[in-house]
Amino acid sequence: MQVTRIQRLLPLVALVLAACSLIPAEVQRELLPSNTSYKTAEAAFQVLIERHVDKPASNVLLTGALTSVLDEAQKEGLNTGALPGEPPRFSGSTWSDFSRFTDRLDAIVKVTPNADRIKLERAAVEGMAKSMNECHTYYLDPDRAKRFNQPSPPITGIGVTINKPANDPVEIVRVIPGTPAERAGLKAGDRIMTVDGIDVKDLTTDEVAQRVRGQEGSQVVLGIQRGTQDLTFTLTRARFSVPLQTDQMLPGNIGYIEVPQLIGAVADEVSASVRRLDASGAEAIILDLRSDPGGDLSAAVDIASIFVRQGPLVYQTGRDGSRTPLEVNRRFYFNKPKPLVVLVNKNSASGAEIIAAGIRANDAGTVIGTQTAGCVGTGQPRELPDGGILLVTISKIQDARTGAELNGPGRGVIPDQVVDQPSGAQGDPQRDAAVAFLRTKIARPASPLWGLAAAA
């Protein structure tokens, strides 16, 4: 009986094989599994096609990959005039396009005198990630992947907070008082181009931070771009601590809380500051999130929840279109509402944007400053065959009131009151604007909310 079944199956198998052999090569490329030797590029391509929230088209990813490969190949001696034929035309047909891309990659390797095939393939992956044009999708090669999500050692460095704007070098956003950076004359807005002579323009914020940190008493040389000037600073590393938050009472009984980053127990400390300022007679609050790059999502939710009694802070939308509210943590709400201003700038990112958007969406405060980074989403790490990691954005973040997308170039939180902070400006124009705004609110009858949204 078993033999008979096998005999019946054999003609069917033969028929399937015969049918496959009759499929034109171009159609086979589209329908059948890839047999490429570029397994890392293939895996990254498939992850982005199947997982990225924006459902990227193959031609977008592979055009970015090819551009990045050509840039890397030219560093290795490629003469583009030696490439045969025209560049591939991608049609949007997933695996057919990928086959065209790998054919072109083979041709580039063949005519590049000093071709490093691994580097070229990794350049392709980086190009695909960059083609998404948003900050939560990026590639870490194996060396950089080893340090991903590793706990930070005690800080011994120069005393700056840094952040990386999309597609730009890392920028100093805050110089911590009493540190080597302040003594050397580094300034907010300086861009770090090299560390000890090594180009770091394309590295992530964490990777640059790891290179700047080092043994106490050792030296580090930074190449800095300040406007049109190229400067060099030699600094001696020292041990320092970064406060999770600082607070003070400003004239006119206005409490001021600055939050540099959303890490550790920062939400508990902000909550304690609000209570301490209230006990000291604060009639209004300024929450300064300028140059806060974000961090722990739960910290963002908890800080916003101090000022928002109930309601969604933002919405998270997945690839399938499902929309989920990010709700407040009611345990953190402080039930003595006062007028509130949230200060933001171009370096306020991720969780800081969620706080600002959530407070405004629930009429709990007014946002003042400049448009935020537009770098807010949910990323997921995926391991690749080469040992690297591809971070992929799997959900979008939307404003709970307007439904506007918050992630991406030109997006983010647009303040109710736009106040610039020109480089070299005397004093702090943005904080001054917040104080002036709150004084008008304190003079009026108390509001049942933390603050009032600006009139439309």
β-partners of residue 115 are none
pTM for this model (two decimals): 0.72
Average pLDDT over residues 155-178: 84
Query: Residues of the chain with pLDDT > 70: what percent?
Result: 87
Lowest mean pLDDT across 175-179, 247-251, 286-290: 175-179
Examine the pLDDT at 105 and tell me if it is beyond 50. yes
Residue given tokens 């580039």 in the structure block: 108
Instruction: Please give the domain boundaries of the chain with CATH numbers for all domains.
Output: 24-132 (no CATH), 156-239 (2.30.42.10), 246-378+395-442 (3.90.226.10)
Examine the pLDDT at 445 and tell me if it is beyond 60. no
Examine the pLDDT at 28 and tell me if it is beyond 90. no
Alpha-carbon separation of residue 416 from 343, 400, 429 (angstroms): 10, 16, 16
Structure tokens at 414: 């647009």
Residues 6+ positions from 417 with CB-CB distance below 8 Å: 366, 367, 368, 433, 437, 454
pLDDT, residue 298, reads 93
pLDDT, residue 330, reads 94
Query: Residues of the chain with pLDDT > 90: what percent?
Result: 65
Helix (H, G, I), strand (E, B) or coil at 427: coil
pLDDT, residue 86, reads 87
CA atoms of 219 and 359, how far apart (whole Å): 43
- The tens digit of pLDDT for each residue in 291-348 reads 998 888 999 999 999 999 999 999 999 999 999 999 999 999 999 999 999 999 999 9
CA atoms of 273 and 371, how far apart (whole Å): 26
Average pLDDT over residues 388-400: 95
Residue pair 118/126 in contact by the 8 Å Cβ criterion: no
CA atoms of 324 and 292, how far apart (whole Å): 25
CA atoms of 41 and 66, how far apart (whole Å): 11
- The tens digit of pLDDT for each residue in 31-60 reads 444 578 899 999 999 999 999 999 999 999
Residue pair 441/350 in contact by the 8 Å Cβ criterion: no
User: Which phi-psi region, left, alpha or beta, contains residue 311 (left: φ > 0; alpha: ψ -120 to 50)?
Assistant: left
Average pLDDT for the chain: 87
Residue 449 — very low, low, confident or very high, per pLDDT cuts 50/70/90? very low
